Amino acid sequence: MEISAREKSDVIIFDIEGEIRRSDVSDVTLHQLVKDQLDTGKRNILLNFKNVEFIDSFGVGEILASYISTHNLGGKLKIAKISKKLYLIFQVTMLTKVLEIFEDEEVALESFIKD
């Protein structure tokens, strides 16, 4: 998994590529990257799943932990550009009940302004 961060207005966008899964390599986790942004005062986080191919239970836990950390600080964490296959995983794990999921990044960004 590779993650790059960029900022648009007051939203931090994480562009995620590859697979969100437990790794034997001690890479920085998605949750840690989100927490790092929260520590700097950023409260609006958008996860861009356009290039995510797979997610396992560890990845689901990372997303949920990221959501909880953001929510507990009064922030918003949202998802954009998720594939139909991954959306099914989100449905089974009930993440669709918790997270706002958007097909389009611009619509997702506009939703932060409306909140």
Map out the domains of the chain as residue ranges.
2-114
Question: What tens digit of pLDDT does each residue of 21-59 get?
Answer: 887 555 789 999 999 999 999 999 999 999 999 999 999
The reported pLDDT for the residue numbered 59 is 92
Q: What does the alpha-carbon distance between residue 62 and residue 10 come to, in Å, rounded to a whole number?
A: 23
Q: How confident is the model at residue 1 (pLDDT cuts 50, 70, 90)?
A: confident
Q: Is 12 within 8 Å of 36 (Cβ atoms)?
A: no
Model pLDDT, residue 63: 96
Residue 63 burial by Cβ neighbours in a 10 Å radius (0-12, 13-18, 19+): buried
* Mean of all residue pLDDT scores within the chain: 93
Percent of the chain with pLDDT over 70: 97
pLDDT at position 41 is: 97
Q: How long, in residues, is the chain? A: 115
Read off the pTM: 0.94
Backbone angles phi, psi at 6, to 5 degrees: -145, 165
Residue whose token pair is 């706002």: 100
What whole-number distance in Å separates Cα of residue 46 and Cα of residue 38? Answer: 13
- Output the CATH code of domain 2-114: 3.30.750.24
Residue 10 near residue 109 (C-beta atoms within 8 A): no
Q: What is the pLDDT of residue 69?
A: 98
